[in-house]
A and B are shown apart, each in its own frame.
Chain A
Amino acid sequence: KQEVTQIPAALSVPEGENLVLNCSFTDSAIYNLQWFRQDPGKGLTSLLLIQSSQREQTSGRLNASLDKSSGRSTLYIAASQPGDSATYLCAVRPNSNYQLIWGAGTKLIIKP
Chain B
Amino acid sequence: DGGITQSPKYLFRKEGQNVTLSCEQNLNHDAMYWYRQDPGQGLRLIYYSQIVNDFQKGDIAEGYSVSREKKESFPLTVTSAQKNPTAFYLCASGLGVQETQYFGPGTRLLVL
- Tell whether A pairs with B: yes
Interface residues in chain A, defined as those with a beta carbon under 8 Å from any beta carbon in chain B? 4, 9, 31-32, 34, 36, 41-46, 49, 89, 91, 93, 98-105
Residues of B within 8 A of A49 (CB): 100
In the complex, what's the smallest C-beta–C-beta distance from B108 to chain A, in angstroms?
Answer: 7
B45 at the interface (CB under 8 A from A): yes
- We find that the number of chain B residues with CB closer than 8 angstroms to chain A is 25
B42, A46: Cβ atoms closer than 8 Å: no
A100, B105: Cβ atoms closer than 8 Å: no
A105, B106: Cβ atoms closer than 8 Å: no
Residues of A within 8 A of B104 (CB): 43
Complex CA distance for A105 and B59, rounded to whole angstroms: 19
B98, A46: Cβ atoms closer than 8 Å: no
One of B6, B40, B42, B58 near A89 (C-beta < 8 A): B42
In the complex, what's the smallest C-beta–C-beta distance from A59 to chain B, in angstroms?
Answer: 13
In the complex, what's the smallest C-beta–C-beta distance from A44 to chain B, in angstroms?
Answer: 4
B74 at the interface (CB under 8 A from A): no
Q: Taking CB as reference atom, which chain A residue is nearest B44?
A: A102
Residues of A within 8 A of B43 (CB): 89, 91, 100, 102
B97 at the interface (CB under 8 A from A): yes
Knowing A34-B100, A98-B97, the reply to whether A42 touches B45 (Cβ < 8 A) is no
In the complex, what's the smallest C-beta–C-beta distance from A26 to chain B, in angstroms?
Answer: 13
Residues of B within 8 A of A98 (CB): 48, 50, 97-98
One of A41, A103, A104, A105 near B108 (C-beta < 8 A): A41
One of B45, B88, B90 near A99 (C-beta < 8 A): B45
B101 at the interface (CB under 8 A from A): yes
Residues of A within 8 A of B50 (CB): 98
One of A41, A46, A101, A104 near B101 (C-beta < 8 A): A46
B102 at the interface (CB under 8 A from A): yes
Residues of B within 8 A of A104 (CB): 40-42
B42, A42: Cβ atoms closer than 8 Å: no
B103 at the interface (CB under 8 A from A): yes
Q: Which B residues between 18 and 66 are near A, CB-CB below 8 angstroms? A: 40-45, 48, 50, 58-59
Q: Taking CB as reference atom, which chain B residue is nearest A31?
A: B98
